[in-house]
Amino acid sequence: MSLNNLEKLNVLYLTENLYYYSSSDYQVDFIKNLKKFFNLYEFGPGYLNFNKQLCYSAIEDFFKVRFDIDGPFGSPKNAELPEDEQISTLTQNADGNFVWNKK
């Protein structure tokens, strides 16, 4: 079975907008190749309407899609968050990196 026959997953890709950087060819090529296999939604500093205070569900509302997630936050196809994770926030650390649910 080839990957082309599989249903594409909706993936949230947290990144700065690299399309305006002159030395980001590798990263941009990587993103373009990911888009061949996933419905990739890029979100982060430099993208239209980026707001670091948006919670996870607000980001889904912004893109009008439910992301396929796995692990401690849910499972593919249902993307249901555990009750204690319903209010997820993206926070920027002092070093400029972003983390989920920093208290």
Beta strands in 15-65 (DSSP E): 38-43
Instruction: Give the confidence band of 1 by pLDDT, cuts at 50, 70, 90.
Output: very low
pLDDT digits (tens, 9 = 90+) for 7-46: 788 889 888 888 877 777 888 888 899 999 889 999 999 8
The C-alpha angle with vertex 74 and arms to 72 and 77, in degrees rounded to 5, equals 150
Between CA 9 and CA 53 the distance in angstroms is 25
Residue 20, pLDDT score = 78
The H or E element spanning position 9 is strand 9-14
Domain that holds residue 8: 3-100
pTM: 0.59
Instruction: Give the confidence band of 2 by pLDDT, cuts at 50, 70, 90.
Output: very low
Contact (Cβ atoms closer than 8 angstroms) between residue 78 and residue 70 = no
Query: In 10 A of CB 69, how many CB atoms?
Result: 20
pLDDT digits (tens, 9 = 90+) for 42-101: 999 988 888 888 888 888 899 999 887 754 444 444 545 555 555 566 777 888 777 776
What is the number of structural domains in the chain?
1
